[in-house]
Structure 1
Amino acid sequence: MTSPTTATATATPSATATATTSTTTIPAATQVETETETETERATSRLSDSPSGLRCSRTTSAVSSWLHELAQPGEHEPTSAILNYCKRKFLRPYVAILTVVGLNPISTDMSTVGACSSYVQAMMVLFVLLAGYVLRYLCGYRGDRGFSSYRDIRPGGYGNGSDVCGSASASSTPNTIGELLFGYVVPSVLNLLSFVSAVLVCKVIEHEQLQNLIERVFLLSAKPKRLCRMLWLYLGVALALLLLLFGYACSVVFMQQAQIIKVTWLAEALRAWELWLRIGLLSTILLQDLVEIIVLSSYYIECYLLRVHLETLSHKLLMHSIDPLDWMREILEFRKLLERVNQHVSIPVCFLIVMNLAYAFAGLVYLFKDFDFHYCALKLVLLNIANVMLWLFLGLLPFFVAGSVTRVCQNTQANGHQIRVRPFVYHNTSAEDLNSTLLFASSLDMSAKLFRMPIQSNYLCFAILVVTIVVLTLGMCLNLSALGKF
């Protein structure tokens, strides 16, 4: 047996050798580092000697600092930068426009004073709308034809006090129950219900779903600036439609030379306030049109965001820039957003569709049957034709927008088949995952809905065909001799 002293003596030379090796290794590493630093200093000095090298070094340092800033979490992170851009350029202007008529959503971070002021503003808009409905009835102003009787409007002159557009006794005949109900009460109720339902959707049911939709679209989209440009494009078109509606109202109100109040005792009492009555009527009409345009444009913008969101998801799946399982999760989230638009956001739009189409068809019947083209000024005839076309456009446009969303939803069902036949993009993906994606995409049943009905382009084209045939039939049968003889 070996004694402990011998074992210790035997182990000592090996330990000494190891220590010697490590001792010699450390100076070698230090020497290599020193040589590397020396070479780096020499290269830096050579680059600094020449102007081109100096520019290259500055560019390299700038790029390195930029990459370092991007790598830091917080404000310079790409996700936070996109969200900040979304809030500044899209969300805040959009909410500010909704605030004009008291339709801004109540967020969780809003103070109690801000929430109360938002509700107070909505109540003030509601009271002005009610006052406008009463003033419309007192003045005999209807959305489908302007005033129910046009007094003192002739091609050759004014001021004879006779009713020349329509029957001679129309200005003195009181309203019937049917005219009161269908000419004033029902359109006013539809307009009021659209505003009240929009307030309920924005302030009670919303729960920041609009912000969720906008942020999701911005995070997935590769062109956030294009989304902002489309927002202002939609708002520009909405402003043009508002100006057309208000321009028709201004023309009709100021073309009516006689007193606009048709109640005899009230007209005598308010004779000195005639100008202010006209201004008040135009102001309430402007507010009603503004509420309608903002509600419709909000629906159009949200449908556009849904369409962009789904198209981006489909493109990412086809390019294999998103995992199929993540794509399925995103599609399920999209279905929730789509159901919110179908179940809640479309409700005020449906009320406005009924009112607009009723105005359009009533104006058509009035033009072809009751409107006397022989004795009215040509500009009044053209104004009424333009008014009918404008109401028809506003009534049909939501169907076109909803049909475009349905078309994108139908195209998404084919994504599973498209990735299944792509051998180069999904060659590393297992057949089980591809089949699962195929089955999931094929089972999708998504569509935009109005009046709880799916809106499809083929049915929409058929409805437009029916409307066109009805208009042509009215023109052929009801008023062939209205425009005179050759």
Structure 2
Amino acid sequence: MINASEGGVRVREGSVESTDDERVPHSRISSLEVRVHPMAASVEPPGAIAVDTNGDEVFSQEAVMITECDGESYNTAATLHYCRRMILKPRDIIFAVLGYRSWNKDGAEQSLCLKVFNVVYFIFFLLCLCIGPVLQYNICLKRDQGVGNDVQIHFGNSSVYSDGDSHLCSGSLIFIYIVPSLMFFFAFLVTCIILRLGESEHLQTLLERVYLLASCSPWELVKQRRLWCIFVGWLMMGVMCLTLSLGSMILHLSAATQISYTFIQPQSETAKILLCGGALASLWLEDIVMVTAVLLYCTQCHLLSRLLEIIRMTLYQGATSLMGIKKQIDETSRFLRHLNQELGSSVGLYLCLAAFRAITASSSLFSTIKHYELPGMSAALASGSMHIDSRNSQGFYTFEYTTVEEARLWLHISAIITNLLPWLLLTIMPLCMAAWVSSNYRALSKAGSQLHGRPFGYQSTPQPDIDSFLLYVSSLHLQAKILWIPVRTYFLVSILVLTVMTIVVLSYLYL
């Protein structure tokens, strides 16, 4: 029986006849399982293989055509339409809303009104982002510590903290509010310049190429449905980061005993709600801009890695000549150059900001665990407007915190932990994806050595061509870079080891 359930099968018109001019029984014809995909083209694809049977078999050569594709056979036009409609068009709309690209319709030349609108919209969006740090300082919201404007006064070996109506927020104005904001705006402007003035067809070309290769791929790891599921996974990861970020800010406001305003004094409860809501909305908009840029980089790394995996599998199967493989690898270097020189610079700046916030959130978490009394607290602590900390016999400060109720303490701790998680994810994701791209290029180099030792599928290829291909792949030094720093697996392992050691040391010092 010929089972073609996994491949595209086309039955030509006309009757099926046996060798002695008798009609073939229906029971024997039904033994061939025919499945034609609804999106398959009505024409026979190039490279179709004809099943040649001698006179003793059931079907003649005119009966069936089985394509080289053992997987899902999609129409090329339908695949490209799917990519543009389901992925590229929503991406363009999101990027236009976030200011990363200008509003334009299907690549047509912009009119004067549309140019003016793009400039006005970008300025308006930039002003909305600038309002965020101003409103954040107005309510004294520290994303790693919470809400407060306590004023610290030193008296010898003791310190007094007052919760009065001060018009200054506690902590350093420069390093808590100004420096993170400047880091974000610099990264945002660099990303806008790259995406607006740079070549914008890299993602579209890479996406279409990978989807076209995956549409006729016999390998389960690079099927179209698997690629779409991974895209949905990236989207859900971004939504989770944004949810955690917004939830941490809401928990910080809920845990605050009172919100003191610095320079914009609300006169009613409605004005207070508007100021707090405006601060949360503008800060969350900054997070949306940052998450979108990181996901764009991760998406291109994922597509490039899939393309390299398809090339390596094709090499193992011997389905393409060595010269064709070399041309495909050279084409991937163009995508890698765009990834390293343009997107690697923009995501590297966002990565510095995410790492900065992750480190400050971790430090705040350790300090909170040390200073607060955790599970086992039987009753709420006494409330008051002042508390004093002094040195004990070992030279360390002992703190006596006041709170309204025990629930506020748990809200504060939950807000710190919730604030830490999204920045950790945004720091880890681009590093892991860049290391994946580098490892795929390294795997291609190893595949060349394996081919040279056992040229399966290339027995008819001259030995000088195989030697030339081995020299070519062994000289490949292509790898992903972030801020011009190569990212490889051992680099991530080193960072992981240092992080674990740091956590152990901090736990010994603070817990």
Shared fold (TM-score, shorter chain, > 0.5): yes
Shift of residue 140, structure 1, vs aligned partner: 1.3
Contact 1:231 1:301 in 2 (8 A): yes
Any conservation in 2 of the 1:187–1:355 contact (CA below 8 Å)? yes
- Is residue 2:302 matched to residue 1:304? yes
- Matched with 1:91 is 88
Q: What's 2:100 paired with?
A: 103
- The whole-number CA distance in structure 2 between the counterparts of 1:139 and 1:256 is 11
Identity among equivalent positions (%) equals: 24
Call closer, same or farther: CA 1:115–1:307 in 2, change over 3 Å. farther
1:18 is matched with which residue? none
Show CA shifts across 1:48-94 (max 9, x none).
xx9959x99xx99x99xx8863469xxx9943333223223332233
Q: Which residue in 2 is equivalent to 1:136? A: 136
Contact 1:260 1:278 in 2 (8 A): no
Partner letter of residue 409 of structure 1?
Y
- Counterpart in the other structure of 1:335: 333
Q: Which residue of 2 aligns with 1:355?
A: 353
Q: Is the 8 A contact 1:447 1:455 kept in 2?
A: yes
Tell me what 1:124 maps to: 124
Q: Which residue of 1 aligns with 2:438?
A: 406
Q: Distance in 2 between matches of 1:372 and 1:271?
A: 33
In structure 2, the residue matched to 1:288 is: 286
- Choose which of 415, 426, 429 in structure 1 pairs with 2:447: 415
Residue correspondence of structure 1 range 244-393 to structure 2 within 5 A: 244-263=244-263, 266-267=264-265, 273-369=271-367, 372-374=371-373, 375=401, 377-393=409-425
Q: 1:210 and 2:208 equivalent?
A: no
Within 1, Cα distance between the matches of 2:255 and 2:42? 68
Quick check: 383-392 or 456-465, which moved more? Answer: 383-392
Rounded to whole Å, the distance in 2 between the matches of 1:85 and 1:146 is: 45
- Deviation string, structure 1 residues 337-389 (Cα, Å, up to 9, x no partner): 11111111122222222222212222233333477414451231232133224
Residue 474 of structure 2 is aligned to residue 442 of structure 1: yes
Work out whether residues 138 and 262 of structure 1, in 8 Å CA contact, stay in contact via their aligned partners in 2: yes
CA shift, 1:250, in A, is: 1.6
What's the counterpart of residue 505 of structure 2?
473
Hey, what does 1:33 align to over in structure 2?
none
Deviation digits for residues 283-319 of structure 1 (CA, Å, limit 9, x no counterpart): 1122111111111111111110110011111111221
Q: TM-score, with normalisation over the residues of structure 1?
A: 0.75
Which letter maps to 1:458? Y
Task: Give the corresponding residue for 2:57.
Answer: none
Give 3-state SS (helix, strand or coil) of 1:144's partner: coil
In the alignment, which residue of structure 2 is the partner of 1:179?
172
In the alignment, the residues of structure 1 paired with residue 16 and residue 476 of structure 2 have an alpha-carbon distance, to the nearest angstrom, of: 61
Q: Contact 1:353/1:395 (CA < 8 Å) preserved in 2?
A: yes
Please report how far the alpha carbon of residue 268 of structure 1 lies from its aligned counterpart in structure 2 after TM superposition: 5.5
Matched, 1:426 2:425: no
Aligned-partner Cα distance in 2 for 1:40–1:384: 73
Aligned twin of 2:184: 191
Return the index of the structure with the highest Cα Rg.
Answer: 1
Q: CA deviation at 1:271?
A: 6.3
Give yes or no for contact 1:373–1:381 (8 Å, CA) kept in 2: no
Task: Please report the TM-score for the alignment, with normalisation by the length of structure 2.
Answer: 0.72
Offset at 1:188?
0.5
TM superposition shift of 1:463 = 1.4
Residue pair 1:314, 1:415 contacting (<8 A) in 2 also: yes
Q: Distance in 2 between matches of 1:40 and 1:268?
A: 86
| Aligned-partner SS, 1:168 | strand
Aligned residues: 413
Unaligned runs of 5+ in 2: 1-14, 47-72, 152-158, 218-222, 374-400, 404-408
Contact 2:191 2:346 in 1 (8 A): yes
Q: 1:201–1:344: 8 Å Cα contact kept in structure 2? A: yes
CA 1:177–1:260 in 2, change beyond 3 Å: closer, same or farther? closer
Q: Does structure 2 retain, via aligned residues, the 8 Å contact 1:191–1:352?
A: yes
Query: Partner amino acid for 2:85?
Result: R
Superposed CA offset, 1:401-444 (max 9, x none): 21111111111111211222234411111111111111110000
* 1:175-230 deviations in Å (ceiling 9; x for gaps): 58981111111100111122212211211112422212212222222222322221
Check 1:170–1:339 CA distance in 2 against 1; reply closer, same or farther (3 A cut).
farther
The answer to whether structure 1 residue 458 and structure 2 residue 490 are counterparts is yes
| 1:154 corresponds to | none
2:294, 2:347 within 8 Å by CA — same for their partners in 1?
Answer: yes
Within 1, Cα distance between the matches of 2:452 and 2:466?
Answer: 6
- 2:43 is aligned, of 59, 69, 76, to 69
Distance 1:111 1:179, change over 3 A: same
1:381 & 1:109 partners in 2: Cα distance? 49
Contact 2:242 2:422 in 1 (8 A): no
Q: For residue 14 of structure 1, what is the aligned residue in structure 2?
A: none
1: CA distance between counterparts of 2:302 and 2:141? 35
- In 1, distance between residues paired with 2:89 and 2:108? 14
The letter of the residue matching 2:449 is: H
The 2-side partners of 1:418 and 1:40 are apart by 46
1:52 to 1:121, Cα distance in 2 relative to 1, 3 A: farther
Q: Aligned in 2, Cα 1:134/1:247: closer, same or farther, shift over 3 Å?
A: same
Relative to total residues, which structure has the larger helix share, 1 or 2? 1
**Amino acid paired to 1:97:** I
Distance 2:430 2:192 in 1: 19
Cα distance in 2 between the residues matched to 1:174 and 1:80? 63
Q: Which runs of 5+ in 1 are unaligned?
A: 1-38, 152-165, 481-486
